[in-house]
Amino acid sequence: MQTLVLKGKEAIEKGARLIASGEVVAFPTETVYGLGADAFNEAAVKKIFIAKGRPSDNPLIVHIADKNGLQGLVTDVSEGAKAVIEKFMPGPITVIMKKGKDVPYCVTAGLETVGIRMPSHEVAREFIRACGKPIAAPSANKSTHISPTSAEHVFEDMNGAIPLIIDGGECEVGIESTIIDMSTDVPTILRPGAITAEMLAGVLGAVKTFSGKVVVAKAPGMKYKHYAPRCETVVAEDAESAIKAYDDASEKGLNPVVIAKTGTCALLGGRTHIDLGNTDAEICRNIYAALHRGEKIAGYIICEHLGDKGVCGSVMNRVLKSAGGKIV
């Protein structure tokens, strides 16, 4: 199959036609690129799992263009869920609620709940509107690989497997949406993101954060390998340990690279590095592109520990998974 990469009105019109004919289409959102299909078309949804190589017990998020789109998708919406939707949608958040009867079980992987997301990206919203249907979509990477934040990243993973990539430039946020489970009595964050626990607690009073120590993960996808570059990746506690890890790896002929904040990059001498920027927003926006670039130019990635608080905490949630938890 030939994979087209198109922009603008032409891309959206072609994308909507492909969705209507039961195909899958990659599209930009403010978080990462998604791989979409008509959420009501089971055969089309199955194609997503095949293109990604994704296990079928890992549910998909359903994307809508505006609040009317919620109709029929969810039921028993709590006051808390309404408040979160009101405050943070459209934006980088997915809200898990009891599913409506129209949502097929192949989307929810047999669960009675469904994750709903309303992207703020204009191209995403125009595309979903043009489709006239809710769009089921995971991130547009091959299963276990790094999520894509540009059309080029999607092309690298999906060339030949899907008919169209809608190119909307680079993703503004850069990591996947925060997932909050509002289907239970205590709202629980299943995946941290740019909407932080502090921001959600401001609306809900209290939220439970995902500790990582829970043995049976509630977000089914969390038990799988995730965000993995194709070469070994480690996290360095500070600049000094990054330099030491780099020099050790160099000696072994591993061709290392350091991914770090601008301030740390200045301390690295002539060592190969990728600069993430300095602010939380820059670091979040640049992290996946840095990992994609790292696996291309190097054989060993050392990422600086970026901190535990706020958005950097959400970024480190991904980086530690990329590194399989290895800290040097």
Positions touching ligand TXA (CB under 6 A) are: 29, 31-32, 34, 58-61, 94, 96, 108, 111, 113-115, 117, 137-139, 176-177, 179, 190, 218-222
* Least distance between ligand TXA and beta carbon 309 (Å): 21
d(CA 197, CA 199) in angstroms, rounded, equals 5
Q: Which of Mg ion, ligand TXA, none is residue 135 near (CB under 5 to 8 Å by kind)?
A: none
Chain residue at closest Cβ approach to ligand TXA: 221
Q: Among the residues of 115-238, which ranges form H helices?
A: 122-131, 151-158, 197-204
Considering the complex, state which of residue 113 and residue 139 has its C-beta at the smaller distance from Mg ion: 139
Q: Which of ligand TXA, Mg ion, none is residue 46 near (CB under 5 to 8 Å by kind)?
A: none
Q: Which of ligand TXA, Mg ion, none is residue 260 near (CB under 5 to 8 Å by kind)?
A: none
Q: Which of Mg ion, ligand TXA, none is residue 90 near (CB under 5 to 8 Å by kind)?
A: none
Q: Which of ligand TXA, Mg ion, none is residue 113 near (CB under 5 to 8 Å by kind)?
A: ligand TXA
The encoded tokens of residue 327 equal 């800290």
Considering the complex, state which of residue 288 and residue 300 has its C-beta at the smaller distance from ligand TXA: 288
With 0-12 / 13-18 / 19 or more C-beta atoms within 10 angstroms meaning exposed / middle / buried, residue 263 is: exposed
Contacts with 243 (C-beta within 8 Å, 6 or more apart), sequence order: 267, 268, 269, 271
Considering the complex, state which of residue 64 and residue 260 has its C-beta at the smaller distance from ligand TXA: 64
Which neighbouring-strand residues pair with 95? 116, 180
d(CA 65, CA 54) in angstroms, rounded, equals 25
Contacts with 252 (C-beta within 8 Å, 6 or more apart), sequence order: none
The encoded tokens of residue 189 equal 């964050």
Considering the complex, state which of residue 213 and residue 251 has its C-beta at the smaller distance from ligand TXA: 213
* Least distance between Mg ion and beta carbon 292 (Å): 14
Considering the complex, state which of residue 34 and residue 187 has its C-beta at the smaller distance from ligand TXA: 34
* Least distance between Mg ion and beta carbon 96 (Å): 15
* Least distance between Mg ion and beta carbon 138 (Å): 5
The encoded tokens of residue 79 equal 């006051």
The encoded tokens of residue 80 equal 């808390």
The 8-class DSSP code of residue 327 comes to: B
Contacts with 147 (C-beta within 8 Å, 6 or more apart), sequence order: 32, 33, 139, 140, 141, 153, 175, 176, 227, 288
Considering the complex, state which of residue 127 and residue 246 has its C-beta at the smaller distance from ligand TXA: 127
* Least distance between Mg ion and beta carbon 206 (Å): 28
Considering the complex, state which of residue 54 and residue 285 has its C-beta at the smaller distance from Mg ion: 54
Q: Which of Mg ion, ligand TXA, none is residue 117 near (CB under 5 to 8 Å by kind)?
A: ligand TXA
Q: Which of ligand TXA, Mg ion, none is residue 60 near (CB under 5 to 8 Å by kind)?
A: ligand TXA
**Which residues would be at the binding site for Mg ion (CB under 5 A)?**
139
Cis ω before 229 (30° cut-off from 0): no
Q: Phi first, then psi: what are they for 203, rounded to 5°? A: -95, -35
* Least distance between ligand TXA and beta carbon 247 (Å): 36
* Least distance between ligand TXA and beta carbon 20 (Å): 20
Q: Among the residues of 22-78, which ranges form H helices?
A: 42-52
